[in-house]
Amino acid sequence: MKTVQSPPADQIIAATRKWLERAVIGLQLCPFAVAPHLNDRVRYCVSARRSSVGLLEELCAELQALQDADPLKCETTLLIHPEVLTDFREHNDFLDACDAAITELGFEGELQVASFHPHYQFAGTVAQDIENYTNRSPYPMLHLLREASVARAVANFPNIERIGATNQEMLRRLGHEGWRQLWID
């Protein structure tokens, strides 16, 4: 049986940037994404790992690198992993290992991990519900964030608790056709 190989890293990063610019920033799904993106403080790391054990090792290295980096040069990291955890449930289950790694490294209260996936599905929804697209990315990825950055963003954004609901409402208005139109060049 022939396995499908992922595109080269530069193409994966280009697709991720396009998603970030058109969906996350363009649709204002995350009001905090604009500044790190515009100031070139997002690190894009494409993992070639093919096992969850290997990805966990890479995650730990990336968490350490983010912790050690100057926040004015690298505020956040997108760890894109196209070869592993392509099943959403497995990806979602892996988040427990991410939290454990943060604890083991002593980064609780300093770093956190959010997740995005091409098949992201919120509890209580069916796979094709448009609301799920708020967290759908071109490839499975882990978003490594600094707690200080999140705290600053939260302090400067009114009604932070409404972001999820607002995003879902906006996507319902946009619909599947509107979502498809985002990707036409």
Q: What is the DSSP string of 56-78?
A: HHHHHHHHHHHHHS-TTT--EEE
How would residue 1 be classed by pLDDT, with cut points 50, 70 and 90? very low
Q: Report the range of poorest mean pLDDT among 9-23, 76-90, 152-166.
A: 152-166
Q: Does the CA dihedral 107-67-72-58 come out positive or negative?
A: negative
Query: Which tens digit of pLDDT belongs to each residue from 104-123?
Result: 999 999 999 999 999 999 99
Token pair listed for 78 = 């997108």
d(CA 22, CA 113): 22
Which run of H or E residues covers position 114? strand 111-116
Which residues on adjacent β-strands are paired with residue 79?
Answer: 45, 142
Query: Looking at per-residue confidence, does 157 or 176 come out higher?
Result: 176
Amino acid, res. 94: F
Does the pLDDT at position 142 exceed 80?
A: yes
CA angle 9, 10, 15 (to 5 degrees): 95
Query: Which tens digit of pLDDT belongs to each residue from 37-53?
Result: 999 999 999 999 999 99
Does the pLDDT at position 26 exceed 70?
A: yes
Residue 3: per-residue pLDDT: 56
Q: Could you tell me which residues come within 8 angstroms of residue 172 by beta carbon, excluding any fewer than 6 positions away?
A: 130, 131
Residue 87: per-residue pLDDT: 97
| φ, ψ (nearest 5 deg) of residue 159 | 60, 45
Helix, strand or coil for residue 116?
Answer: strand
Q: What does the pLDDT average to over 134-153? A: 94
Nearest-10 crossing angle of helices 88-105, 52-68: 50
161: DSSP letter: G
Place of tokens 């069916």: 126
The domains of the chain are located at 9-179
Does the pLDDT at position 25 exceed 60?
A: yes
Token pair listed for 66 = 């983010």
Residue 160: per-residue pLDDT: 81
Distance of CA 13 to the CA centre of its chain: 12
